């Protein structure tokens, strides 16, 4: 039987005997652990020499002697000569010094696991009998993927002295459009403070002990004010909990993420931001609309539909080479269109409204600036929706062979589209 131990080598003497390819693979790992590494070998391969030249590594250019072992916490032997490796391993055994015999791992007093990390979790894989590094590495990679994707239970079970907050951008909705880091942080969370939009389905996959707080806003209905959300973040983090603020899209794109970061930092709470796939580009993409396209649109103007209409926005809508993307703009659409046309924007400018992008309820209404208000009303367009104004919204842009059929349906605002 083999017992696995987590051993800290930081600041401790580690002797590597041999300077070949095996040493090259292992040396960086010891350096990453903060070990004080010594190498004894007549020669070094190029990879080892490069690491020796760029790190503080002592190299003695000769064959190893038993005296070299003195003072080492761990010895790693990989000379390429099985008899030499066995002799050094035996001497380590006599001196009660742990030794990794890379030529025959089953006969050393220690083995290196195939490691994978996710946050502060380290998982090591090795064979209990015999040596099969290929199998261990393959299993490590599979476990690593599951850890990084948040598919294994990562939540801590012991209380912590200090909590923290992670603002996680959840993207437009589907869980598989979240970042890997975001999924992992959710798996580590004690408390999730979630918006109405975004990948809410992943909440059902969390540990039953995770507290989920719904602070979702709807148009005209903000049941939990922003200050109360800020207070929740600080309160739970101060209680030593790992808090994830799960948002739709990206935390810093009309998500008030900046305000939440300021609140956490003012309270002395560690906080980090995990970007998310913003609906500015992802929702139009779901409808086959690129927000930029060579020879058509070289820039993007983003508008908060709930804000005041600016001259910059009106100029962008009138510019043939600019794509204007309006978020939260369904209610403001008549006011925006009237102002744009009055400012000289052409009534034939293509417009697309993409509702509930990346969900089974997704629907696209394609029309023009002069007709969009009537077409949106006829179709019963509702939030969440992203409005794209510009030549990239023209149905002929990417799918000319489908344009006529699609236009016939979408211009009338067919509610079954």
**Catalytic sites, residue numbers:** 195, 217
Rounded Cα gap, residues 144 and 141, in angstroms? 5
Q: Which residues contact 372 (CB under 8 A, 6 or more apart)?
A: 333, 337, 351, 353
Strand pairing report for 350-355 and 363-368:
antiparallel
Closest by Cα among 357, 9, 27 to 174? 357
DSSP letter (8 states) at residue 180: H
β-sheet bridge partners, residue 159? none
Residue 398 near residue 362 (C-beta atoms within 8 A): no
The pair phi, psi for residue 205, each rounded to 5°, is -90, -5
**Angle, vertex CA 415, rays to CA 409 and CA 416, nearest 5:** 75
Residue 109 burial (10 A CB sphere; 0-12, 13-18, 19+):
middle
Q: Of 216, 217, 227, give the one whose Cα is nearest residue 266.
A: 227
Other CB atoms within 10 A of residue 3 CB: 5
The answer to whether 325 and 387 have CB atoms below 8 angstroms apart is yes
Q: What is the DSSP letter of 308?
A: P
DSSP structure string for 201-225: GGGGGS-TT-EEEE---BTTB-SS-
Give the DSSP letter of residue 281: H
Ranges of beta strands (E only) in 41-125 are 58-60, 74-77, 98-101, 114-118, 121-125
């Amino acid at each position: 039987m083999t017992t696995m131990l987590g051993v800290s080598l930081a600041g401790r003497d580690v002797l590597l005997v041999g300077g070949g390819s095996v040493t090259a693979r292992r040396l960086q790992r010891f350096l990453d652990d903060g070990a004080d590494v010594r190498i004894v070998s007549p020669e070094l391969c190029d990879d080892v020499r490069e690491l020796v030249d760029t790190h503080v590594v002592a190299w003695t250019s000769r064959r190893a002697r038993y005296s070299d072992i003195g003072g080492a916490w761990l010895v790693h032997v990989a000379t390429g000569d099985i008899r030499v490796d066995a002799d050094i391993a035996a001497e380590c055994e006599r001196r009660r010094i742990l030794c990794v015999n890379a030529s025959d791992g089953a006969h050393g007093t220690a083995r290196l696991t195939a490691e994978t990390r996710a946050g502060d979790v380290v998982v090591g894989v090795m064979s209990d009998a015999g040596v099969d590094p290929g199998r261990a590495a393959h299993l490590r990679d599979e476990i690593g993927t599951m850890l990084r994707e948040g598919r294994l239970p990562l939540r801590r079970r012991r209380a912590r002295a200090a909590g923290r907050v992670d603002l996680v951008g959840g993207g437009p909705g589907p869980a598989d459009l979240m970042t890997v880091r975001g999924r992992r942080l959710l798996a580590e969370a004690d408390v999730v403070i979630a918006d109405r939009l975004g990948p809410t389905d992943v909440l059902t996959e969390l540990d039953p002990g995770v507290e989920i707080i719904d602070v979702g806003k709807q148009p005209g209905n903000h049941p939990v004010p922003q200050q109360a959300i800020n207070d929740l973040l600080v309160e739970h983090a101060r209680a030593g909990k790992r808090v994830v603020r799960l948002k739709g899209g990206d935390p810093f794109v009309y998500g008030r993420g900046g305000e939440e970061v300021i609140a956490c930092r003012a309270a002395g709470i560690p906080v980090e931001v995990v970007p998310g796939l913003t609906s500015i580009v992802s929702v139009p993409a779901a409808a086959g609309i690129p927000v930029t396209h060579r020879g058509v649109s070289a820039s993007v103007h983003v508008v908060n539909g709930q804000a005041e209409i600016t001259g910059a926005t009106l100029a962008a809508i009138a510019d043939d080479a600019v794509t204007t993307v309006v978020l939260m703009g369904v209610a403001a659409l008549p006011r925006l269109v009237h102002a744009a046309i009055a400012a000289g924007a052409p009534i034939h400018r293509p417009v697309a409204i993409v509702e509930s992008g990346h969900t089974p309820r997704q629907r696209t209404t394609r029309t023009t600036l002069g007709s969009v208000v009537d077409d949106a009303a006829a179709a019963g367009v509702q939030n969440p929706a992203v409005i794209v104004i510009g030549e990239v919204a023209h149905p002929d842009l990417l799918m000319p062979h489908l344009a006529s059929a699609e236009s016939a349906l979408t211009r009338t605002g067919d509610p079954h589209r």
